[in-house]
Structure 1
Amino acid sequence: MKHKLTTIILLKTILLFGQESKFNCDLVTDRVKIESDSINYENSFIDNHKDIGLISKSKADFEVRYYNTPSLTNGGHVIIISCADNTIKAKKVTYWFSVNQDYEKRRINKTKVEELKPKKTWDSFFDTLEKLNFYDFPTMETIRPKMKKYMTLEDGRVVEKRSMITDGVYYTLEIKIADKIRKFSYHSPISWYRVYDHVDELRQAEEIKEFFKNNLTKGNSR
């Protein structure tokens, strides 16, 4: 009976924190250096839920987060990959909240937590992130000055051609290595790339988003 109880407790622990695997955290922390943001904003009520938590309070040697936040729905999901004591854990937290409240008063009222593991290996997963320039990728605000196109009016005047995308999804990536944290965010990068196809960072941001979507597989859930 004691053995059975221990097994149940262990299973619940794995479901809470995500799929566990042995991984040398130094392979990332020794090789990757990041510059902390001067101001780091948390994701308000999303990070306040116990299944997610504040990245600034994480005890991991390094942690990577991917937030998928649709602008017109009452939910989203967060992928959290953390490594501590040469053990790596990964999970996807899908959440729902009431839309009938002011933004500042919103609270997550339901979550689904799923274990995650890489389709190949964690070594190849992080190698690919590095090749995608993930760790020092610019945020969308940085590249906005490049997101311009011009048109010539009938009278010969040249004016800026403005575009607007009001719906879609916000993608936020956070990286914590030791005590340094940085983040970058994009709104519907592929939609903007169709407008500003000369801004390659928009295409690359879409590649990063698709990489997280297509290179992690689900395990158990609760």
Structure 2
Amino acid sequence: MPPVSIQADRQMDVLSAVVSTCTTGRSAAKVHDIAQETGLERKGIHPTLRFLTGTGLLTSGPAGWTPTVSGVRVGHPWATDRDGARTIFGEVWRESWVYRLLAGSSVRPGVPFSAEDIAKAMRPYPTSTLTPWVHLVDWLELARYVQRDSDGSLRLATALHDDAEAAAPETEQDQPPTPTADPASPALGLVLPVSMDQLTHLTAEDYGAVMRSLATIYEVLSRQRA
């Protein structure tokens, strides 16, 4: 998840800094390079790098961080053409777990939502801390997946209507009868076997693997919602 202490556009500056460093002949960017170029504190850069890696914009290795092809497409124009970079960002992020969670959530086209509503609809399990998911909504707006009305409410962008409708659960008439639960059976639920603190200490590769797995699980469960 993105760090909550830095705005989404400033975290995008981190991606731009990595791209800039790696287009000057360097094979990878280190944290001190990014800090010098962005003016951000190192403690905020590390979780940003993990998030960008987990969403397919960066890769990491012993030498530091390197942009993927998608990361270069987004990060290169960010410094001079943010409007164009946002359009590209929305295109390349359609392969990310973030997009799959949004498309498979209960966020329906044409309906106004608050950031908290969207965050609750996207988080894979109800006991997860809501704040990082609310901050993720800023990224959805940056990618133009959601659009803000004049009153501050958010709506699913027009471009996502088809995907959201395709992922929508069946109507009540189309669904088979729900079987009566056996009182003796244990309660079922999705509980992540790691805490948020443990997540923040994972390597970039492991973090990305966990989030992609959660996205797949949530996508399956969303199709089974009543």
TM-score bracket relative to the smaller structure: under 0.3
TM-score (norm 1): 0.24
Whose strand fraction is larger, Structure 1's or Structure 2's? 1
Whose helix fraction is larger, Structure 1's or Structure 2's? 2
TM-score (norm 2): 0.24
